[in-house]
């Protein structure tokens, strides 16, 4: 029963549409009607600027962190990584935004942050390095996931290996259209870095 409760709370936390809230409160616009229409940090950066993008990205990370941390906060015998996955599902398919959310990158990172701050730090560094070189947020996100799986393997943490693999595959799936655009050289590059 506690698994169901924690999973439901994590899903609801993940469903909080940070980009939609920041867009409407701070800029009086519905971000779903601008840019890619995506409820994530990347579209927020593109449409509303760096400050708004950072706020949304941090909020989306914390949704994953808090979701995964729930079992630890209540000393429950439920795997926090599994509960964290429900926060990611909530972010991607939010009940508060007609089940159309972000692409799971920041919230996935947040789940890892709750379990392994060292791995999370390595992921941030990887993301920034690839972003600096390529200027593609989508490519940086996918490469970061792959690196996270490799590092998890070296850490010899089976749970972490499984969850980082699942999250990475999901992130890649969510970026299939971006992969096509990268191959066609039509994927937008960032201009702020």
Other Cβ atoms closer than 10 A to 114: 25
Measured CA to CA in angstroms, residue 159 lies from 82, 133, 138 at distances of 9, 31, 25
Is 65 within a domain?
yes
Model pLDDT, residue 192: 72
Is 191 within a domain?
no
pLDDT per residue of the chain (193 residues) written in tens, 0 to 9: 899 999 999 999 999 999 999 999 999 999 999 988 899 999 999 999 999 999 999 999 999 999 999 999 998 899 999 999 999 999 999 999 999 999 999 999 999 999 999 999 999 999 999 999 999 999 999 999 999 999 999 999 999 999 999 999 999 999 999 999 999 999 999 887 7
| Domain hosting residue 53, numbered range | 2-183
| Residues 161, 181: Cα–Cα separation, whole Å | 29
Model pLDDT, residue 121: 98
Is 117 within a domain?
yes
Is 59 within a domain?
yes
Is 192 within a domain?
no
Model pLDDT, residue 190: 87
Q: Whole-model pTM?
A: 0.94
Alpha helices in 28-157 (DSSP H): 41-48, 50-73, 80-92, 105-115, 117-134, 137-155
> Domain total for the chain?
1
Is 99 within a domain?
yes
Is 21 within a domain?
yes
Is 190 within a domain?
no
How confident is the model over 52-81, as pLDDT tens digits? 999 999 999 999 999 999 999 998 899 999
| Residues 133, 52: Cα–Cα separation, whole Å | 23
């Amino acid at each position: 029963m506690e698994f169901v409760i924690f999973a439901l709370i994590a899903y609801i936390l993940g469903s909080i549409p940070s980009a939609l809230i920041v867009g409407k409160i701070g800029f009086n616009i519905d971000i779903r009607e601008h840019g890619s229409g995506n409820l994530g940090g990347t579209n927020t950066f593109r449409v509303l600027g760096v400050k708004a993008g950072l706020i949304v990205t941090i909020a989306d990370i914390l949704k994953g962190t808090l979701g995964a941390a729930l079992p630890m906060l209540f000393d429950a015998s439920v795997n926090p990584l599994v509960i964290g996955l429900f926060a990611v599902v909530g972010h991607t398919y939010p009940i508060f935004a007609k089940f159309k959310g972000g692409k799971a990158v920041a919230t996935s990172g947040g789940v890892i942050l709750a379990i392994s701050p060292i791995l999370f730090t390595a992921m941030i560094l990887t993301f920034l390095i690839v972003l600096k070189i390529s200027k593609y947020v989508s490519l940086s996100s996918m490469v970061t996931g792959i690196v996270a799986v490799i590092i998890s393997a070296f850490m010899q943490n089976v749970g972490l290996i499984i969850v980082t693999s699942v999250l990475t595959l999901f992130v890649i799936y969510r970026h299939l259209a971006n992969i096509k655009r990268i191959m066609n050289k039509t994927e937008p590059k960032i201009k702020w870095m």
